[in-house]
């Protein structure tokens, strides 16, 4: 009888401990949920983003996981943040705006140039079936790969390399999103965009750039200027700007 009672109490302790750790994990992973909802309401929806798929993706992806620990509490402010190696994670509104302009559908294949933290890749992976992303700085690419794998994204393919050249083996792409700024549109990216496809890209020097949306129609790119922006430059293997 005594051993039965102690067995019961051991079971009860085990149950309460497992509830306790479940709660801790749950609270921890939900730590910024309200703040994230507020960010989406005040910075994304209020500024005119309407695509429900984009809004849902911005609600789902925990941006604080993609920034350095000491910036975690700033992760939901509408600003870019440093991610090391002189690079930045883009401001949430710009991520949402760029994603929305591509008019994405689930079955699409999208190429991103400039993986950086992996945040934009995660947003894309919430929406489309196939994401390809290229990062030129190895340490950033490897870090993003580890994080995206730990978050169980199975539809993101990453490569370390020069994104100016695109990813020929997997072309053509339904959409291309470039998150670093070359002066002019990279020819290989133009070629790897599908007929009817869209490419969003910041173009210009290091001071002034324009976010430009291109649509490929009859083999030609039709240009539409979206907004003035400031991105890090697109660089070559030797560190020079494109
Ligand atoms: N999309 C990123 C933002 C990254 S900032 C995010 O969500 O966090 C732009 C990134 O482009 C930087 O990481 C930079 O290293 C990378 N980059 C610059 N030139 C590149 C090139 N030629 N090919 C691929 N990536 C490049």
**In the chain, what is the straight-line distance between the N-terminal and C-terminal CA atoms, in Å?**
79
Counting from 1 in the atom list of ligand 1, the atom nearest the Cα of 88 is 5
What does the DSSP 8-state code read for residue 90? P
> 2-229: CATH homologous superfamily?
Vaccinia Virus protein VP39 (3.40.50.150)
pLDDT recorded at residue 18: 44
- From 90, 117, 150, 206, the catalytic residue: 90
Residues pairing with 228 in the sheet: 210
**Burial status of residue 205 (CB atoms within 10 A of its CB: 0-12, 13-18, 19 or more):** exposed
Which range is least confidently modeled, 39-43, 50-54, 87-91, 98-102? 87-91
- Give the tens place of pLDDT for each residue, 116-145: 999 999 999 999 999 999 999 999 999 999
pLDDT recorded at residue 207: 79
pLDDT recorded at residue 11: 54
Average pLDDT, whole number, for the chain?
A: 91
pLDDT recorded at residue 206: 78
* Gap between the Cα atoms of 236 and 240, Å rounded: 5
Residue 139 a catalytic site member: no
Q: What is the pTM of this model?
A: 0.89
The tokens 């599908």 sit on which residue?
194
What's the CA-to-centroid distance between 17 and ligand 1, angstroms? 44
3-class secondary structure, 190: helix
What's the CA-to-centroid distance between 181 and ligand 1, angstroms? 9
3-class secondary structure, 74: helix
**pLDDT band (50, 70, 90) for residue 208:** confident
- Please state, for a pLDDT cut of 90, what percent of the chain lies above it: 84
Chain Cα centroid distance, residue 39: 16
């Amino acid at each position: 009888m005594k051993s039965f009672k102690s067995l019961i109490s051991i079971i009860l302790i085990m149950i309460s401990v497992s509830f306790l750790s479940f709660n801790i994990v749950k609270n921890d992973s939900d730590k910024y949920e309200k703040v994230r909802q507020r960010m989406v309401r005040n910075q994304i929806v209020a500024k005119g983003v309407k695509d429900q798929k984009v809004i849902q993706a911005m609600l789902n992806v925990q941006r604080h996981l993609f920034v350095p620990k000491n910036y975690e509490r700033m992760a939901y402010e509408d600003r870019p943040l440093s991610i090391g190696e002189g690079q930045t994670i883009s401001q949430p509104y710009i991520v949402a705006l760029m994603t929305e302009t591509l008019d994405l559908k689930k079955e699409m294949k999208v190429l991103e140039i400039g993986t950086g933290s992996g945040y934009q890749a995660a947003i894309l992976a919430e929406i489309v079936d196939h994401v390809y992303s290229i990062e030129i700085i190895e340490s950033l690419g490897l870090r993003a790969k580890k994080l995206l794998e730990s978050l169980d994204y199975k539809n993101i393919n990453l490569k370390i390399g020069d994104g100016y050249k695109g990813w020929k083996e997997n072309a053509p792409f339904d959409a291309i999103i470039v998150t670093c700024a070359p002066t002019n549109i990279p020819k290989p990216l133009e070629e790897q965009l599908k007929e009817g496809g869209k490419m969003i890209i910041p173009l210009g020097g290091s001071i002034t750039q324009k976010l430009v949306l291109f649509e490929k129609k009859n083999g030609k790119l039709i240009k539409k200027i979206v907004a003035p922006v400031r991105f890090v430059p697109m660089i070559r293997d030797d560190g020079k700007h494109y």
